[in-house]
Amino acid sequence: MYAVAAATLGVMVERSLGRLAGLVSRRRRTVFVVWVALLAAGGWFSLHQADHLSGGGWEVPGSPSLQVADAIQKDWPNAIPPAFTVFITGPQGRARVAAVQRLVAAQPNVQPGRPFSRGNAVFLPLAYVGKSSNAIDEATHLRRALVQTAATAQTRVIGEPAIWSNFQDVSKQQLARGEALGFPLILLILLAGFGTLVAAVAPLALGFAAVFLSGAVIYALSRSFEISVYVTNMASMIGIGVAVDYSLFIVSRFRRELHEGAKPDQALERAMTSSGTAVVFSGAAVAVSLAALFAIDVNALRSMAAGAIVVVCISMLASITLLPALLAAVGTRVDRLRIPLPWRTTEQGSDAFWSGWARRVMRRPVTGLLAGAGVMLVLSIPFFWMQTFNRGLDELPRSAEVRVATQHAQTLMGPGFGAPVHVLTSNYGPLIARTLTNAHIPGVARVAAPVLSSTKKQWLVDVTLAVPVESGAARGIVHRIQEVAGQGATLGGSTVFDLDVANAIFGGLWKMLLVILAACYVVLLLLLRSVLLPLKAVLMNLLSVGAAYGVLVAVFQWGWLDWTGYSSPGYVETIVPALVLAVTFGLSMDYEVFLLTRVRERWLEHGDNERAVAEGLVRSARTITSAALVMVAVFFAFVVAGAPSLKELGTGLGVAILLDATLVRLLIVPAAMRLLGEWNWWMPKPLARLLPAASH
């Protein structure tokens, strides 16, 4: 029943898009007015989308680090770890303390502790007693009120919320640089592909409109929910690529229909019923793949998924409303303002090249399959050595205000300054403290005196590390502290928090993978009426993801590109593998749907599998290549301009899409389909009766 309903829905989508094309063509002025009104109304909100974003949201419900943090907040009101530290240096630093204390006293959400000094540096710890979701706003306010650079004293605010406050400022600059680099690159690629300015500008305008309007929606969401600071860059990176890709599919089909003699209205209707349907199904597949991130119980990751889903849905909506209105307005003038290029950009010249390529793949399918799959598997090998960490300080440029001050403070006080390991126990606290001290655990700098809770039932022992708290060495020390303290003790703090986040994300990857594989398989089963083709497709997508993971390890963990002057961090950001998995599967569906529906069209026409594969490859290869180049250009722009986590995400996605659109779609898939022969289209009769035939 569900299969019948879904297949019927596919036919309904085609018919609805055909009717929509006619309606939009007739009412294009109204469509323009509506979109301009939406963009104007959302303008201010889009420009301020980062104002209420959060660096938090990484807490894992029920995790040890969260249990300890909640217990300290409740039962140790006088031992709440400082969220901020005012760090004052210079020859007259002590004289500056009094002025800082007066300014801090006027802040209702912070409680100053007792200042202490090390040499000429003075530290004033500040406990935060406001809402956790407002900690970054408080950090921004404190930085504006207290940060000062003078010849006699320099004042800085450090701490986790201050890091993310500084990152908000940096991310706005990175977003502007990424978009400033990405849009011109896309325009050059579209000009090279289409050869005319009008055809090239339409997808670019669509991408701008989709990303701009998504910013306003993100602002609205951030006023009601805790949304991660990563959302703006991620939504922009994915939104630009997706919007341009979707519009490229439709514009390409519209131009082809015009060149084959169709009138503008007919060409628009055919483009919408064919490529428009592919866009709707692809957009739905991308949204479902991103929604799989909700299988991981980390709110920051879920908010990133929500932001990306918003921009994908708006891009899809713009592709089936705003873009048809633009095409209806320009009509045959879509080929106006031709750009003189030294190479041919006609469909005929492109088809001749891809026809030769298809013949070679069809003649040697075994060689093509083994060569392509071999390259992908070799690239995947480093994945088995992947190490992940979540280091907020590394997201800031080396010259960033908070990063420089934090590193200076750690040099004076030790790498574990401000982030002790909390040991929470109901056993006799002094005994636990002595046991930890006498154990002489390597990497432990100091064990603090135990503090009894306000309920007189539990003890808190803080252990300061002599190594960076977000490192592999710190994780090993935490495991050793747990062994010495016993299973009755619960550990918290930054290092335990880092472990909890990593365990939650990697523990949820298998759930994500099951959701994504099932969704992709069902979509392709309904579209292609084949049991084996969807299975082959998901296996190919896994190859792309594996290769992307391998490249991430080689570049960012092993430092294979450090010879270029890039300094690799020596690890992969914890959030990147999950995002690469979800986004790669979603975006790969674009190319999969576009290629296989073309192959199926030809197979239904004449029933010759080898000929259908070759003809489907020729008809789709040019568009797939152009779309992939657009995506890679967008990701490359954010690799150049973004923070380390965005560099890794952009690299992983860029590699995955580049390999997917070249080795996978243009070599491995056609070679495998050539070898499968008639089995490509095998469907058990009982299932075939449930799935009514659908036009593509």
The pLDDT tens digits for 550-561 are 999 999 999 998
Q: In the chain, where are the structural domains located?
A: 2-41+165-391+500-690, 84-158
Give 27-67 pLDDT, tens digit per residue: 889 999 999 999 999 889 998 887 777 777 788 888 998 89
How do residues 568-588 score in pLDDT, each as one tens digit?
A: 889 999 889 999 998 888 887
Helices 669-676/365-380 angle, 10° precision: 130
Percentage of residues of the chain with pLDDT beyond 90? 25
**What's the sign of the alpha-carbon dihedral 655, 658, 661, 665?**
negative
What is the model's pLDDT at position 375? 94
What is the rounded distance in angstroms from the CA atom of residue 299 to the CA atom of residue 524? 31
The whole-number average pLDDT for the span 80-96 is: 85
Three-state DSSP class for 463? strand
pLDDT over 60 at 286, yes or no? yes
**Predicted confidence band of residue 340 (pLDDT cuts 50, 70, 90):** low
Q: How confident is the model at residue 696 (pLDDT cuts 50, 70, 90)?
A: very low
pLDDT of residue 4: 44
- Options 1.20.1640.10, 1.10.240.10, 2.40.50.70, 3.30.365.10; which CATH number does 2-41+165-391+500-690 get? 1.20.1640.10
Task: Please name which of 238, 243, 215 lies closest in space to residue 227, comparing C-alpha atoms.
Answer: 215
Model confidence at 460, in pLDDT bands (50, 70, 90)?
very high
Instruction: Give alpha helix (H) positions in 321-364.
Output: 322-330, 347-363
Instruction: List the helix and strand counts (H, then E) for the chain.
Output: 24, 13
The alpha helices in 61-159, defined as continuous H runs, are 64-75, 93-105, 135-146
Alpha-carbon dihedral sign for residues 341, 347, 351, 352: negative
Are 2-41+165-391+500-690 and 84-158 equal in CATH topology?
Answer: no
Give the range among 82-86, 138-142, 605-609 with minimum mean pLDDT.
605-609
In contact, 61 and 393? CB cutoff 8 Å: no
Question: pTM of the entire structure?
Answer: 0.86
Q: Residue 416: exposed, middle, or buried by beta-carbon count in 10 A (0-12, 13-18, 19+)? A: buried
Average pLDDT over residues 515-529: 80
Per-residue pLDDT reduced to its tens digit, 389-427: 888 888 888 889 999 999 999 999 999 888 899 999 988
Which of 587, 577, 656, 658 lies closest to 293 in space, CA to CA?
Answer: 577
Torsion over CA: 158, 162, 167, 172 (sign): negative
- In this structure, what is the dihedral angle of CA atoms 433, 436, 438, 441, given to the nearest 10 degrees? -150
pLDDT at 634: 84
Which helix (H) or strand (E) is 499 found in, with range? helix 494-528
- Average pLDDT value for the chain: 85
CA 502 to chain centre: 16
CATH number at 84-158: 3.30.70
| Average pLDDT of the residues in 157-164 | 87
Banded pLDDT at 139 (limits 50, 70, 90): confident
Instruction: Write the burial class of residue 347 (CB in 10 Å: 0-12 exposed, 13-18 middle, 19+ buried).
Output: middle
Q: How far apart are CA 347 and CA 339, in angstroms?
A: 16
Q: What is the pLDDT of residue 693?
A: 52
Q: Which two tokens stand for residue 669?
A: 């898939």
